Structure 1
């Protein structure tokens, strides 16, 4: 079982280069960071996790790709992931180059976790109707994968084009985050390597539907990475029994004196 960590990296908390070094020194496999381009002050959309107030770190989140470049420069083997990238809110041509550049400069250590988003006004500020965010995510990820894989890539929205650098391995692993369901599993089965369920609750019950979706497309069973979990030995053993090979533990967004003791506690589980 590989164990990674995720944290809302902000302009107020533990610097990501220090977090990345600490994670690598303690034997963690990966570091994932989330994305919010901005938070509209209207707050029409309630917090996704059900809080009365949106946590302060949402307002202060760093750009994930720029932040991960600092993590890459500070480490040698730590895998670097977006958890998650809001693909519907991004230009796929620009993002494909940025992600591939990060992978090139890091020596092939990038993992792309993507999601559909939950903040209605944030999504709509990017010109994407909330009801079409899944469609936009699919289109943008497929466009990025074409640019990563093909010497001359073309897709709906851009003519045959060159785009370098290419990812070190010729492509990048893509995982889709979100709650279990036929719409999500259809996208996982079509264009991704796996599913990133938040927390990990309900994985066992969802596996048959995920397997069926993959079989319909003729692809192997998708990998499952429980994301943002609070790991214990029993929980990790349970995940392993389901065939899970990697889990990602959540860390609080805060200074080093808050983050490092929990990082040490999680490291004892590796």
Structure 2
């Protein structure tokens, strides 16, 4: 099983360069970074973990800039987002940034994407909360048009793009979507809680699921696999990557029994000595 990591990198934590080098030298599989552009102080949305929202949510580094630094000082580790708030981006700009990071890293990028939880943050980006899922779906289709090998136009409910020259292209070869349409772009994993709508979207336009923590997978994975196969996707292509996991030997063995091949372990949003101490503890699972 491959063990990657995630961390809230901030202006007060270990730097992207130091962490990336340590991960590569120690044999970890990858680095995933979360995203928040800002956290309005008048926030009404409850913290996803309950209680007060930790300070690091409002101090998070830009994930793509930090991953670009990580790519420049490594050769092997995978690089990803967990998650990119697609609804809060201009899709043409985001498509360029994703393709560029994938290109300069040699195809090591994984796009973890999601719908978000902070209503106030999204509203400042002009996102209408009740339609955010459809907005994300539409923007992913627009980005796929820009990643296509030939100039491809897209006209959607929320946006459009003319047939355009748009380079670089993501490194990964296209995969087959339901109905035979090609899925262009890097490996794409959709985050969110298990449910019919989420599973339908996973099967429709992604490579798999990024569940937070990994609880309940014994019950939810068979449901997702059924939706995936009924949509016409190849069963062996489905990827499920539990995210922000606090590993134990028993938990990893359970994931392995479910056919999971990659886990993303949570690191503390801390300075270098504490992060390295936790990496030493996690090394037993490599």
TM range (shorter): over 0.9
Local SS of the residue matching 2:80: strand
The one of 163, 184, 187 aligned to 2:166: 163
User: Aligned ranges for residues 79-118 of structure 1 at < 5 Å?
Assistant: 79-118=78-117
Deviates more, 1:165-174 or 1:242-251: 165-174
> Match for residue 197 of structure 1?
211
> Match for residue 187 of structure 1?
201
Deviation at 1:145, TM superposition (A): 2.0
Taking structure 2 as the reference length, the TM-score comes to: 0.92
User: Is 1:136 paired with 2:139?
Assistant: no
Deviates more, 1:144-153 or 1:230-239: 144-153
Local SS of the residue matching 1:153: coil
Contact 2:172 2:187 in 1 (8 A): no
CA deviation profile, 1:74-99 (whole Å, cap 9, x unmatched): 11111000010000111111111111
Local SS of the residue matching 1:167: coil
Structure 2's unaligned 5+ residue stretches are: 174-184
What is the alpha-carbon distance in structure 1 between the residues aligned to residue 122 and residue 268 of structure 2?
25
What is the alpha-carbon distance in structure 1 between the residues aligned to residue 243 and residue 213 of structure 2?
5
The one of 229, 234, 251 aligned to 1:220: 234
Taking structure 1 as the reference length, the TM-score comes to: 0.97
Deviates more, 1:161-170 or 1:67-76: 161-170
User: Is 1:248 paired with 2:264?
Assistant: yes
Deviation at 1:150, TM superposition (A): 3.1
CA deviation profile, 1:41-88 (whole Å, cap 9, x unmatched): 11111111112x110001100111111000001111110000100001
Q: How many residues align?
A: 269
The Cα RMSD (Å) is: 1.0
What is the alpha-carbon distance in structure 2 between the residues aligned to residue 120 and residue 150 of structure 1?
36
Deviation at 1:168, TM superposition (A): 1.9
What is the alpha-carbon distance in structure 2 between the residues aligned to residue 232 and residue 213 of structure 1?
30
Contact 2:28 2:77 in 1 (8 A): yes
User: Is 1:3 paired with 2:3?
Assistant: yes
CA deviation profile, 1:74-130 (whole Å, cap 9, x unmatched): 111110000100001111111111111111111111000001000001111111111
Local SS of the residue matching 2:285: coil
What is the alpha-carbon distance in structure 1 between the residues aligned to residue 148 and residue 107 of structure 2?
14
What is the alpha-carbon distance in structure 1 between the residues aligned to residue 118 and residue 149 of structure 2?
33
Contact 2:86 2:136 in 1 (8 A): yes
